[in-house]
Amino acid sequence: MVSLSKLLNQGLRDAKCYEVFHPGKTCSEFHFGKSRSLLIKCVKFFFPIATVPLILKGKNLRKKHVREAFEYYMELILTGFLISQQVPMAWCLVRRLSGKFTECNIVYLPMTLPTWTIFFISPRVARLFAASIFQVTFEAAIRNSKNKICKTFCNSKTIQALLFMTCSAFVLHTIQNYNVKAFWVVKSIPRPIESDIDAKCSHNGECSKFWLNDLAKNILIGLSIDVFKTFVGSITKTNSLFNAFGNKLVHLNFPTTFFLSSYSCIYKMTSCLLNQKSDMNGELKHIIAAFLGGISFFTLPKLTILCYIISISIEISWHLFERKKFKNNLKYLELLKRIPFHRIYTCLSVGYLVQMYVFHPEALSQLGLAMVSAFTGDQAPEMKAVFHNYIKTIKHNK
Ligand SMILES: [Zn+2]
Ligand SMILES: [Zn+2]
């Protein structure tokens, strides 16, 4: 890929918005010509995000959850649509106001401006965007880094697994002990009652029944997610939905099912065994069990999952910080709590992600590509193609 500064000097700097982004169309045709398809893409994209948590609820699913999921889904669609609809507008507006293209205003600024919408959405949706954006940006920055430490980290599954295990211990233990709400794939074992804290398991009935029930539940959840993901993947790829779905299903090796069931099973079995055989402190037993459960990372060793648990760990740490009351001499820390860092962070990162997509797409994971798609209303590949076509004409005319 040619460097952007070189291209700017080769004539891109003085090009007009219609020459680069919408050849043969007026600005308003470019802005509103795709509103309908943008809306449909948002409806499709956010559907699994709103419905997978319902599958995870299993037998505990109530009407209230379906209603909440519907409201959540509607807000996600509206936010995604508003942001993606404003992207082409920002593209032309920024070019018109600044009078030329620069390194900052060709991708970064027009992608960052429309995200002002994030400041007006509900905390739940803002948290979802912040967590996914953090995870994806963190992953892209590591993959794209030339630093030796980052390269070793990207290539070593053992280091990744150790970090995953540490985060697993932190996440499951804080959920169990500090009543923190966080969406993690494995349910934490309930906290034992004070009198039993150093002795028995906190679940009802025999240990083996508890493991088997848990294993069956996780296999069912894993299977539902794997089949559901395959089905959604088949919808977009081809016209013959059931053929594509059938073919994919035959070759599916159920990665989520193996990961979820082994993770939960190792965590819960270790916890029970330690409770029966060891005299150590109850909290320490739980931390060890949650740490060892994380070894299942080897069944699905993806940087995306690791970055997800890291983003959840940071989110939980922030919740714990928010709960803490500081004395008068540390009043400035109280002020820090009022700054909406996650919303600011989301806005600043979207531009970085799309810039990365245009110039270094290999640094983005599948989820990263999906996020870019969501924030640009799936216009990103087309914009990238238009942009690259313009680069070709520059080279051709030279
Ligand atoms: Zn324009
Ligand atoms: Zn037990």
Segment 176-224, tens digit of pLDDT: 988 887 778 888 888 877 655 555 788 888 888 998 998 998 898 888 7
Same domain, 112 and 243: no
Q: Which of 264, 312, 314 is nearest to 292 (CA)?
A: 264
Q: What is the mean pLDDT of the chain?
A: 83
Asked whether residue 272 falls in the same domain as residue 326, the answer is yes
Q: Could you tell me if residue 359 is inside a domain?
A: no
Q: In this structure, are 81 and 221 located in the same domain?
A: no
Classify burial at 157, counting beta carbons within 10 Å of its beta carbon; exposed 0-12, middle 13-18, buried 19 or more.
middle
Ligand nearest, relative to CA of residue 275 = 2
For the cut 60, the answer to whether the pLDDT of residue 73 exceeds it is yes
**For residue 193, what is the DSSP state?**
P
Asked if 282 and 383 sit in the same domain, the reply is no
> Would you place residue 164 in the very low, low, confident or very high pLDDT band (cuts 50, 70, 90)?
very high
CA of 61 to the centre of ligand 2 (A): 26
Do 188 and 272 belong together in one domain?
A: yes
The structure tokens listed for 339 are 């700054």
356 within domain boundaries = no
Which one-letter DSSP state was computed for residue 107? T
358 within a domain of the structure (yes/no): no
Q: Are 306 and 164 in contact (CB under 8 A)?
A: yes
DSSP 3-state assignment of 166? Answer: helix
- And the tokens for 143? 């993959």
Q: Is residue 170 part of a domain?
A: yes
Distance 184 CA to ligand 2 centre (A): 21
- Supply the pLDDT for residue 195: 54
Instruction: In whole angstroms, give the CA distance from residue 138 to residue 348.
Output: 13
Residue 350 resides in a domain? no
CA-to-CA distance for 289 and 226, rounded, in angstroms?
A: 26
Work out how many domains the chain is built from and give that number: 2
Ligand 2 centroid distance, CA of 208 (Å): 7
Report which bound ligand comes closest to the CA of 192.
2
pTM for the whole structure:
0.75
Q: Which ligand has the nearest atom to the CA of 206?
A: 2
Residues 76 and 158 placed together within one structural domain of the fold: no
Residues 175 and 294 occupy one common structural domain: yes
Confidence of residue 175 (pLDDT cuts 50, 70, 90): very high
Rounded to whole angstroms, the Cα distance separating 357 from 163 reads: 27
Q: Which helix (H) or strand (E) holds 57?
A: helix 35-57
Q: Same domain for 93 and 223?
A: no
The domain in which residue 293 lies consists of 153-338
Distance of CA 32 to the CA centre of its chain: 29
Residue 330 covered by a domain: yes
Residue 144 within any structural domain of the chain: no
Q: 34 and 112: one domain? A: yes
Helices 255-277 and 207-237 sit at what angle, rounded to 10 degrees?
160
How many whole angstroms separate alpha carbon 322 and alpha carbon 333?
Answer: 9
Q: How many residues belong to the chain?
A: 398
User: pLDDT higher for 162 or 243?
Assistant: 162
In-domain check, residue 24: yes
pLDDT tens digit sequence for 259-296: 999 999 999 999 999 988 877 888 899 999 999 999 99
> Cα(271) to centroid of ligand 2, in Å?
7
Ligand nearest to the CA of 200: 2
Q: Which ligand is nearest to the CA of 196?
A: 2
**Are 108 and 169 in the same domain?**
no
Burial code (b: 16+ CB inside 10 Å, e: under 16) for 106-137 equals bbbbbbbbbbebbeebeeebbbbbbbbbbbbb
Quick one: 37 and 180 in the same domain?
no
Distance from the CA of 88 to the center of ligand 1, in angstroms?
Answer: 8
Which CA distances in Å does 319 have to 133, 283, 364?
18, 21, 28
User: Is the domain of 275 the same as that of 234?
Assistant: yes
d(CA 298, CA 157): 8
8 Å CB contact between 117 and 79? yes
Amino acid at 179: N
